[in-house]
Amino acid sequence: MSNIYNIFKTIIRIGIGVFFIVSAILKLLSIDNFELYIYSFNLLSFPLCGLAARGIIASEILAGILLIIKVKYKAAWWLTLLMLIGFSCLLVYVILFRDDSNCHCMGDLVELKPAVSLIKNIVTIALLWLIRKEEDYPFKWRNWALAGSLVAAFVPPFALFPTDSVYNLFSRSNNLDYNETAFNGLMADTSMQNLRLENGNFIIGVISSGCPHCKTGCLKLSEIVNKNQLDTNRVLFFVWGDSSSVEHFKEETQTEIFQYSAINPIVAVQISNGTFPKYLFMTDGNVVKTADSRHLTEKSVKEHLR
């Protein structure tokens, strides 16, 4: 009977470890939206949200690996328990005060409602309690195993998926190309004169309603504008796509409050040089800076729209 119980505890331990690693990988694959979800709580600046998102992912990977290989087991057990309790407290807040359809616990590929995720955490805590008395494996290369676990946990989220600020440090340019002739031709159209973009600062997004990068960039811009209480009338999207997809795009990116103007897809491709999204920072009718979703930083948006 004791052997069966030990096998049962081994299955629980490895299962929790694998689950934490899979959960971290799924969040990493949709890291941009995970950052934005953390940012939506209005607790941290956008750069700090990027670090927090990667720190959570790295902690989950590390805890999962150490639980499986039973190195620094007590520390891994406590790290796992504290993360589960912290996530559960956050989920209770989300359930009571927000209406989130996805808590991003499993990234975007596996959507979980906060209530379902809370139940999952409670069950995991109960299972974790059953394996609280496990001890380290006494094998020779424990220090090397620990070092390898740290590398496996921290290199992917921080080095392979760098934050926007780190990415922009090594980016070839902070000012991306756009077709000035095509854009000036669009602005010379009589239908564009009513937009009155000749005075003041504006951010113009040239986007496609079916582009996932456009959705991420516009959601990011929306969160930055709302959090910093910037003038929503200073943001305009030139979008191409059918009416139903555009409405769905607005809902998904929470950008109903901004101005939208339809644009011919050929003109959109010409202006953006085929790369979507493209954000044009305008001052008194002239483009002074361009950006994509990675170069669209909280600092640059705040400085321009204020």
pLDDT reported for residue 172: 56
| CB-based contacts of 63, cutoff 8 Å, min separation 6 | 17, 20, 76, 79, 80, 83
Q: Which sequence spans correspond to the domains of the chain?
A: 2-166, 180-305
242-258 confidence digits (pLDDT tens): 889 999 999 988 899 99
Domain 180-305 class in CATH: alpha beta
The 10 Å Cβ neighbour count of residue 175 is: 12
144-193 confidence digits (pLDDT tens): 999 999 999 999 999 999 888 787 777 655 556 888 888 888 888 766 66
Residue 92 binned pLDDT confidence (cut-offs 50, 70, 90): very high
Residue with tokens 């937009």: 195
C-alpha closest to that of 28 among 60, 3, 69: 60
Tokens describing residue 44: 């941290």
Helices of type H across the chain: 2-29, 31-39, 46-69, 73-97, 114-130, 142-155, 164-170, 180-187, 212-227, 243-253, 265-272, 298-305
Query: 160 to each of 31, 153, 259, how far by Cα in Å?
Result: 11, 11, 36
pLDDT reported for residue 279: 94
Residue 142 binned pLDDT confidence (cut-offs 50, 70, 90): confident
Amino acid at 247: E
Question: Which of residues 121 and 273 earns the better pLDDT score?
Answer: 121
